[in-house]
Amino acid sequence: MRNAKALCLIVGGMLLLSAFALLAAPAVADGGNGRGHGPWSDGGGETTIVPGQDDGMYEKGAKTSLMGKMNYSYGYGRGSFVFYTLDEANGTLTDYGLLTSGGEKVLIANITVEGFDLQEIEVHGSIVRLSDGGLIAVIHDNPTGMYHLFVDEAANVSIVLAGNMTVVENRVQNETSDLTYQLVIADGASRGVIASDDPFLVSENGTVVTCTVTEHLMIRFLPQVAHRHQWIELALMQAVREGRVAAEVTLVGGEEGGVYDTVSYCQELQVQVQEVAKNRFRLNAHGENAQGALVLVHTETGTMDMSQDRLRVRLNAQEMRCVEDPLELLYGQPEDACYAVVDDGEVQQMLVYLPASTVGALTVESVDPMDALLSPGGVAIIIGAIALVVLAGVVAFRKR
């Protein structure tokens, strides 16, 4: 009987140790809030607590073709991906282009907004924000060369394409979508889209585009750099055009925090970064989600290795289902909240689907049992389990 009790103590101690090794989660502080952003804003921020650490993270993001950082001075802007010349009096952009894998390439000769009396130029991480009261233009230094224009009152806009770039397709989406009218532009090597709530007028040769913008206008290109999964980029651009992507989020994190970048596409549903650090990030989706929406997250393996089976994804503390094929989320409408991972080596992408009427807190963690075992709490439990096993062995030996 005594031997049986001792055996139970030994087995119990071993089970306790094994259970912890298999199921333990890393101890990560639930802190480090980033700056929030209002509806239809584009920007970024940092959650780092070490001065100067964010600069290194921006450089890391740029190296993997994820995240840029804009530099602007006296009418000339240049980032990790985009470059342009700005008339600081009227907000006109000229020679707007992208830094491609083969060098600089001008894609748009000029973007002119009639009546733009430029009052303020702000640089925030990877964006430059040009404002004139209710008129705001955002230039986004990312691999897609994003340009966003937001207006409170109708404004006439003219876009002159550069080089051999021309309008190759004119599309009209469902009138209930945010970007109803869309132009596909291409020159045989580069490809992009110009989209708005308002119709476009295109010149006969397809190189001059005009539009009376009443809400917003967006220009976006396929990435011109390496380290990008072109097939997923094409599918994502189509999903953006069709209004199914609510937001894109780019994250680069370390032990003491991280930096992030956001691009919003949906006026009703906003996504904000609450926390980013190595192996963990938290997002908050709030507002209205009437038809279901996609959220795209870009990161890299140094921040979180999404290829491992230890990934834990939760929406409002409930585990989410992993879908093997990301196209199931891009072209289907699952009934439950789920996610898919696109692994492109050093670059990682996560596509999250939120069913209709679903919003809330999204938490993603990469759980490494060894990290948990080596934490102070893990070491204490290991010592306790070993002590229990040793005690049981001593009891069994003395009772013989």
CA geometry: angle at 133 spanning 36 and 70, to 5°? 55
Give the model's pLDDT for residue 30: 29
- Label residue 77 by pLDDT band (50, 70, 90): very high
Strand order in the sheet with 360-366: 269-277, 280-287, 360-366, 311-315, 318-319
Give the model's pLDDT for residue 39: 32
Segment 187-216 mean pLDDT: 93
Give the model's pLDDT for residue 25: 29
pLDDT of residue 307 exceeding 80: no
For the ranges 172-176, 179-183, 215-219, 311-315, the lowest mean pLDDT is seen at 172-176
Q: Which residues are CB-neighbours of 318 under 8 A, at least 6 positions away? A: 337
pLDDT in tens, 271-301: 888 998 899 999 999 888 888 889 989 888 8
Task: Give percent above pLDDT 70 in the chain.
Answer: 74
pLDDT of residue 42 exceeding 70: no
Question: 294 near 351, Cβ under 8 Å?
Answer: yes
Give the model's pLDDT for residue 347: 78
Give the model's pLDDT for residue 168: 95
- Label residue 262 by pLDDT band (50, 70, 90): confident
Judged on CB neighbours under 10 Å (0-12, 13-18, 19+), 6 is: buried
Buried-state track 203-233, b at ≥16 Cβ within 10 A, e below 16: eeeebbbebebebbbbbbbbbbbebbbeebb
pLDDT in tens, 140-195: 888 888 899 999 999 999 999 999 999 999 988 776 666 789 999 999 888 999 99
Give the model's pLDDT for residue 144: 86
Give the model's pLDDT for residue 18: 37
Residue 66 or residue 52, greater confidence: 66
For the ranges 99-108, 315-324, 361-370, the lowest mean pLDDT is seen at 361-370
Instruction: Tell me how far CA of residue 60 lies from CA of 25, 50, 205, 299, 332, in angstroms.
Output: 27, 16, 42, 11, 34
Give the model's pLDDT for residue 382: 62
Mean pLDDT of the chain: 79
Question: 70 near 125, Cβ under 8 Å?
Answer: yes
Residue 19 or residue 93, greater confidence: 93
Question: 208 near 159, Cβ under 8 Å?
Answer: yes
How far apart CA 204 and CA 147 sit, in angstroms, is 24
Bridge partners of 213?
Answer: 155
Instruction: Tell me how far CA of residue 117 lies from CA of 21, 108, 383, in angstroms.
Output: 62, 21, 69
Task: Give percent above pLDDT 90 in the chain.
Answer: 35
Q: What secondary structure does DSSP assign to 30-91, as a single string?
A: S--------TT--EEEE---STTHHHHHHHHHHHTTS----EEETTEEE-SSEEEEE-TTT-
Tell me the three state secondary structure of residue 25. Answer: coil
Give the model's pLDDT for residue 44: 62
